Amino acid sequence: MMISSGPKEYPAHAELESGSSDADTSLTRMAAMIGEGKRVLDVGCASGYFARLLRKNGCVVTGIDANPEALALAGDGCERTILADLDIQSLLPLLGGATFDVVAFGDVLEHLRDPLRLLEEARGALTQDGYIVASIPNIAHGAIRLSMLSGRFDYSEYGLLDETHIRFFTAKSLDELFLCAGFAVDRTERTTLPLFERSDLVPDVDRDQYPPATVAEIESDPECATLQFVVRAMPLDDASRHAALSRRFLEANTALAAATARIETQARTLDAVRLELEETRGHLAEADREMRIAQQRFREADDARVTALERISRLSEDLQTSEATGQALTAALGEIDELRATVTQIAEEVARVRARMEPPKTGPRTTAGPKPAAPKPAAQKAPGQKARRLKTQGQEIVNLVS
């Protein structure tokens, strides 16, 4: 690896060291793109694990790296090794005029401060039919995007957020990098890692921690599961490079014009929305005023309701009192009826007593027999007084009842 901050311990790549070339990794895909019997410049050769794989395919490899300890182990895979830090050294002087069928960048460009400069220099190291093969991590992997939504961008020892990465690429920015360097990417393959699969190469993310709509949007991106891009880039001559850049410029200019038109449309829409918002605010103010009036009327109506309930309560109490009075009056009328009956009985009794107390009527005087003796006054007085007293009491009762 080309880093100026000091040597890095590289991964062992046991799948290559064991002699297996069947593993679906970025390095095995690069080896397939390189083919057999090629002269290869392995930029960032590390300990030579990729060079040894290429040598099995009959390739002759020159390795270059900034880590002297790793480079010391690469001799059995490389015909030649070069110790250099390509962040601060130019490539072509180090090669001494040598050219190659393929220049390979296996997870290297993301470690460089100026990968564009190195790619431009690599054009001068290619044979007439030569090309570049490279593998580059995809910073737009779904796990990275979800992690950033959670506010996390945590570097790690290896993987997409390797602590020594200083450049990050998507499919679009990678294509633009090669085009600006004078190459056209004519073949792109991918290694993949499912979004929620646990791996040391990506941050841990849990589906349940994110809204389903967010997860669905990220999963709809075709590069969601892409771990690395493996590309082959063919060099362009100056005319082709100019034409490609011109096409890209026209595409960008067209996209810019379309974006400008969308922005203008959105600006007009925004103005209309602002006007509608102002009108809505006016309507809301009027509605608020009417609401306050309605609330005042409601309070007044509620006060009237409370007053009415109080009156109803009083009327209910009065009605209950009236019912009691009516019941008492009904009872009094019954008593009066009873008194009238009693008076009637007394009157009848008085009448009977009076009838018994009246003296009998005398008939014509006759000559036959002796003259009856006159009654004694004392014997007639008591019955007459009793009759008068009963008559007086009965009249008083009649007057009282009447």
- For 388, half-sphere exposure in the C-beta direction (CA atoms, 13 angstrom radius) is 5
- Report the top-level CATH class of 14-236: alpha beta
Angstrom distance (rounded) from CA 207 to CA 214: 10
SS3 of residue 97 by DSSP: coil
Taking the whole predicted model, whether its pTM rises above 0.75 is answered as no
**pLDDT score, position 221:** 96
DSSP 273-286: HHHHHHHHHHHHHH
**pLDDT score, position 384:** 63
**pLDDT score, position 386:** 63
Please say whether the beta carbons of 41 and 64 come within 8 A: yes
**pLDDT score, position 317:** 81
Domain ranges of the chain: 14-236, 237-322, 341-356+381-402
Residue closest to 141 by CA, chosen among 229, 226, 207? 226
Angstrom distance (rounded) from CA 112 to CA 121: 14
**pLDDT score, position 53:** 95
**pLDDT score, position 18:** 54
Q: Which residues of 156-186 are buried (b: 16+ CB within 10 A; e: fewer)?
A: eeebbbbeebebebbbeebbbbbbebbbbbe
**pLDDT score, position 207:** 95
Angstrom distance (rounded) from CA 168 to CA 166: 7
Segments in the chain below pLDDT 50: 1-6, 21, 367, 378-381
Residue closest to 102 by CA, chosen among 33, 195, 187? 33
Tell me the C-alpha to C-alpha distance, in Å, between residue 206 and each of 52, 146, 157, 198, 215: 39, 9, 21, 10, 10
Q: pLDDT, tens digit, for every residue of 128-163?
A: 999 999 999 999 999 999 999 999 999 999 999 999
**pLDDT score, position 350:** 81
